[in-house]
Amino acid sequence: MPHDITAILVKLGDSGQTIAAAEQDVRGRHVLDADGDDLGKVDDLLIDREEHKVRFLRVEHGGVLGIGATATFIPVEAVSDVTDDTVRVDLTRQKIEQAPTYDPEVVEEIGYYEDVYWYYGYAPFFNPSGVAPPYPVPPTRR
């Protein structure tokens, strides 16, 4: 039976949790696509409150000084490499730009997250075949 993800996914910044080792926190790092192009920065992480696992990167791009920036959610299954300054994903800019858009006034979260997983070709974590990837490191309680 699937999780009720609307009750358990929350931004790490709003969760009261943190990454155990500060150097493993990917927030603020540049995100590079499969071709090495800069997609923006990791603004926050969506975590599974019950399992303490990161499920999505919230990547902010565009805008000026954060004003007018657009947020895109990328499943952590797409992360292929993490360095001190960057997070590389196995997706192209074009694929990410055409992803389902998130508007909290319009979309139902559970349907949106499921759509994003299937759009990118990954089984949702709340699907019995979903498997947690090795990146990024899971958060811990404060």
Task: Tally the domains of the chain.
Answer: 1
The residue range of the domain holding 58 is 9-13+25-120
Residue 39 lies in a domain: yes
- Output the pLDDT for position 103: 64
Cβ neighbours, 10 Å, residue 125: 24
Tens of pLDDT along the chain (142 residues)?
444 444 467 788 777 777 777 778 899 999 999 999 999 999 999 888 778 788 999 998 776 665 667 888 999 999 999 999 999 999 999 998 888 876 665 545 667 788 888 889 888 877 654 454 444 444 444 4
CATH number where 46 lies: 2.30.30.240
- Output the pLDDT for position 1: 41
Residue 111 lies in a domain: yes
Dihedral of CA 80/121/136/103: which sign? positive
- Output the pLDDT for position 3: 47
pTM: 0.75
Residue 45 lies in a domain: yes
Residue 20 lies in a domain: no
- Output the pLDDT for position 65: 60
